[in-house]
Structure 1
Amino acid sequence: MTFSVAVSGASGYAGGEVLRLLASHPEVSIGAITAHSNAGSRLGALQPHLHSLAERELTETTVENLAGHDVVFLALPHGASAEIAAKLPEETLVIDAGADHRLEDPLVWEKFYGTVHAGTWPYGLPELPGHRERLREAKRIAVPGCYPTSSLLALTPGFSAGLLETQDVVIVAASGTSGAGKSVKVNLLGSEVMGGMSPYGVGGGHRHTPEIEQGLSAAAGENVQVSFTPTLAPMSRGILATATARVKPGTDAAALRRAWAEAYADEAFVHLLPEGQWPHTKSVQGSNHVAMQLAFDEHAGRVIVSCAIDNLTKGTAGGAVQSMNIALGLEETAGLTHQGVAP
């Protein structure tokens, strides 16, 4: 059986990445490809790397154009997905790559996003405990943010195993500029970015902070407090997250490594590297793979986990397609067999 798929926001980075993956997916056919301000344009003029779809015309992002498909991907700005999703048929599998349906607490949503909470959908990060089961036969899926994807994968095994303290969790992550989308911004100009790095969203104000806390708290079974600082790196795509947490008394390096190794032993996309080898964003570029390593800082009593993902693939589109595969009962790795690109 072939499933018909529509993709909104197709002129942006996330929508374009969804299309790149779907173009080589063996069990889907690409239907409507939509955009807002770029409606009427030829896709190849905006996404020239998508050669097989280059002659397709972008249509308006409307319920009418998206309805009638088996699957709809919403790669829209935060706050734009909920209204459209609410009007799509219940039998349609809707996958939201925006933030509208990720958070569980309406008050936290309103604090960080300033609008009315649209509700919570099953979370599209199947490697987290219990999440794969929730995705099976789901009809609504919320794709995690890119920073939460790397941060949650980095620390969840330790909290699930009861090895980490829930306070004083610190995460610093460097992201490529594509994470900010295609909008023209002075701080994202090549001359501003190349050759340097800079922090942003400092002091607990980044919108991904509550999403990270939500996921880690679920793993720990109690509230986890996180200090999260994102930084902008001089690269187009990729995230390198360095996450640290205090270990509980009596926990040693062997116990820590065993927890991570067991958590990801059967995962197709998450790779705990051999001891002494540290992740590099380039090794996962363009792929749905995750590379990570951990160390025990005995002096500080902390575990340090370094996790590399491609923010557009595993951090957005790859996670979305992986979740779609699970929900439709397909092979989980379908359309996601790309290896990393080097050099």
Structure 2
Amino acid sequence: MGIRVAVAGASGYAGGELLRLIAGHPNLELAAATGFAQAGSTIGSVHPHVRSLAGVVLAKTEAAALADADLVFLALPHGESAAIAAQLPESVKIVDLGADFRLRDAAAWTKYYPGPHAGTWTYGLPELPGQRELIAASSRVANTGCYAVTTILALAPLIAAGLADPDDVVVVAASGTSGAGRSAKQHLLATEVMGSMSTYKTGAHQHVPEIKQASGARSLSMTPMLAPMPRGILATVTARPLGGADPRAVLAAAYEGEPFVHVLPEGQWPLTGATFGSNSAHLQATADVDSGRIVVVSATDNLVKGAAGQAIQNANLMLGLPETAGLAIDGIAP
């Protein structure tokens, strides 16, 4: 018998990725999976790639269906986790993949999200200094956002080292269509996306306050883009330099020994395709020859390191398991 875990919102893309990772995890056992419109359907009909759980029926998303688990993953739309979490017993550990508990500043929440600020949980990014120990000691953890983890990993060590100006950070990042969720939307139709790129939430993306909070940036301009691919994020992060240190060397020192963050060899640049299916982040850095600005390029799989894989990594720490259990460092190609 493994440790019993449940997934709320199992019918979505992040929920499906959680199911796939749980099915292959050596220490976890699926106790329950829930959905909204898909309640009553089998996992096999909703996620045909998860064959080992194909016969499991999705329950209605209610606290009663989740309360018998040792740990619950909440893969729900932003603003919907707090109500379910409040109904679960204190003895049940929770990893929330939504934004409900990420922000410390209630005013920042109100600026970017509807509804009241629910509070703040331990922030679930183990690679930040001191955060791994906090996650391991917590029963409630707020998982990172996908753009957020990709950008924070590229930026936080440079600001902490005094190399990058926290008042002058610019991010241009492209995400695959799965980042927008599984609900039918006209702008996500294949005929709209294939052969085209576009910006969205320009100048007002909800991950900006999260990135600032976790990275130490004070002023950040972010332009997100929709790329014609199903998954992956490629973020180009630039900042005004404050010192002469090599940004790549600073990143390499910060992530030495980290299993999932890889500073690539000189001259090798991150590819989204190289991270597909893995919990890894690939980083490379340089200085722009014209402006002198620091340039860091970061790639992740938005459904793994940006969502479900990060949630499993946090759960492993919370449950006293090896941090890498059930997670792939290597990607899938082609």
> Normalising by the residue count of structure 2, what TM-score does the alignment of the two structures yield?
0.98
Residues of 2 paired with 1:6 and 1:289: CA distance? 24
Residues of 2 paired with 1:129 and 1:241: CA distance? 22
The answer to whether the aligner puts 1:314 opposite 2:305 as a matched pair is: yes
* Structure 1 residue 168 displacement after superposition: 1.7
> What is the CA deviation profile of residues 42-87 of structure 1, one whole-angstrom value per residue up to 9, with x for unaligned ones?
1111100000001110101111110011000000011110001011
**Where in structure 1 do 4 or more consecutive aligned residues deviate above 2 Å?**
none
Q: Is the 8 A contact 2:32 2:59 kept in 1?
A: yes
Counterpart in the other structure of 1:206: 205
* Partner SS state of residue 249, structure 2: helix
The answer to whether the aligner puts 1:242 opposite 2:241 as a matched pair is: no
Counterpart in the other structure of 1:251: 244
**What amino acid is the match of 1:127?**
E
2:324 to 333, 336, 340: 333
Q: Is the 8 A contact 2:248 2:284 kept in 1?
A: no
The answer to whether the aligner puts 1:162 opposite 2:153 as a matched pair is: no
* Structure 1 residue 338 displacement after superposition: 5.4
Single out whichever of 291-300 and 149-158 deviates more from structure 2. 291-300
Residues of 1 paired with 2:171 and 2:112: CA distance? 19
Q: Is the 8 A contact 1:18 1:318 kept in 2?
A: yes
Cα RMSD of the aligned pairs, angstroms, is 1.1
For structure 1, the residue ranges without an aligned partner over 5 or more in a row are 218-222
**Identity %, equivalent residues:** 54
* Structure 1 residue 114 displacement after superposition: 2.1
Single out whichever of 234-243 and 165-174 deviates more from structure 2. 165-174
1:1-343 equivalent positions in 2, closer than 5 A: 2-203=2-203, 205-217=204-216, 224-248=218-242, 250-253=243-246, 256-337=247-328, 339-343=330-334
Single out whichever of 85-94 and 238-247 deviates more from structure 2. 85-94
* Structure 1 residue 279 displacement after superposition: 0.6
* Partner SS state of residue 73, structure 1: strand
Residues of 1 paired with 2:33 and 2:304: CA distance? 19
* Structure 1 residue 158 displacement after superposition: 0.4
Q: Is the 8 A contact 2:79 2:114 kept in 1?
A: no
Single out whichever of 159-168 and 64-73 deviates more from structure 2. 159-168
Residues of 2 paired with 1:52 and 1:257: CA distance? 42
For structure 2, the residue ranges without an aligned partner over 5 or more in a row are none
> What is the CA deviation profile of residues 134-176 of structure 1, one whole-angstrom value per residue up to 9, with x for unaligned ones?
1013100101110001000011110111111111200000000
> Normalising by the residue count of structure 1, what TM-score does the alignment of the two structures yield?
0.95
Single out whichever of 329-338 and 76-85 deviates more from structure 2. 329-338
Aligned residues: 334
Residues of 2 paired with 1:10 and 1:338: CA distance? 24
* Structure 1 residue 316 displacement after superposition: 0.2
Single out whichever of 130-139 and 232-241 deviates more from structure 2. 130-139
Q: Is the 8 A contact 1:287 1:314 kept in 2?
A: yes
Residues of 2 paired with 1:298 and 1:238: CA distance? 28
Q: Is the 8 A contact 1:137 1:328 kept in 2?
A: no
Residues of 1 paired with 2:53 and 2:168: CA distance? 48
* Structure 1 residue 337 displacement after superposition: 2.7
Counterpart in the other structure of 1:220: none
* Structure 1 residue 2 displacement after superposition: 2.5
